[in-house]
Amino acid sequence: MATAFMELALEQAKFALDNLEVPVGCVIVEDWKVISSGSNKTNATRNATRHAEMEAIDVLLREWQSMDLDQPQVAEKFAGCDLYVTCEPCIMCATALSIIGIREVYFGCANDKFGGCGSIMSLHKGATSSSDDLSGSQASKPKGFKCTGGIMAEEAVALFRCFYEQGNPNGLYFCMHILLYNDF
């Protein structure tokens, strides 16, 4: 079943690639049904925090807010959800997933530069003694989550290769290349 959900996450990543975004996609699943999906939108929004995970979380938060769910009800909902994402969540996203109390995360390829689920940091393991002091609120303390990586990793890496081979039109190298080698 993990492969079927990862295939849907890969579709979201392909959508991101088609829109000149870093090709990361995800789906959030509750009771074996996809209830939200997201893809990177950092370039479109010019906001470096608009990762696939944050996009999918925000869809649910808006939906649950419209249903007048309170904070404990939202926390209970997230505790019954799993997230499938094509690349290991970065440190920011892993922290957010831990705080909201997602039950489990399944990812494709590792994130050797910014990975928050074991590659760089292990934020999925939950609160540490230093993070316990960050907030007086129990609701905002990292809870941790189960994490499984390597699901369809080759497919996820292939999308990254496509992205970097075509060039990132919002990346510094691409912009410098355009400026240096074109007459205006």
**Annotated catalytic residue, options 11, 21, 30, 53:** 53
Structure tokens at 88: 């290991």
Closest to 24 in 3D by CA, of 37, 40, 11, 8: 40
Active site residue 55: no
Closest to 85 in 3D by CA, of 24, 33, 142: 24
56 Cα distance to chain centroid: 8
174 Cα distance to chain centroid: 25
Residue 86 phi, psi dihedral angles, 5° rounding: -70, -20
Instruction: Give the C-alpha separation, 51 to 181, whole Å.
Output: 32
Helix axes 2-18, 52-66, angle to 10 degrees: 110
**Catalytic residue set:** 53
